[in-house]
Amino acid sequence: MSSRAPDLKYNDSGYVDNTSFEALKKIRREERRQLIYEIKELAKKYGYEVINTIELKEIESDGYD
């Protein structure tokens, strides 16, 4: 089994599906924004402030999550 994530631009039939891709991209962007907000709030709770850009890298899944 490949460890690469599936290309979200294509549907299950292998055709390009821009509508679905754009919707999923928007959802993932919002999830990242929410995560960064929560990280900042956690830091604030403990008396810290995030002063640099937070860079996130998604952990590649093995498909069994």
**Cβ-proximal residues to 40 (8 Å cutoff; 6+ apart), any chain:** 50, 54
- Output 41 or 63, whichever has higher pLDDT: 41
Structure tokens at 22: 């754009």
Going by C-alpha positions, the residue among 27, 34, 41 that lies closest to residue 56 is 34
β-bridge mates for residue 10, sequence order: 16
- Whether the pLDDT of residue 47 is over 50: the answer is yes
pLDDT of residue 19: 87
d(CA 7, CA 16): 10
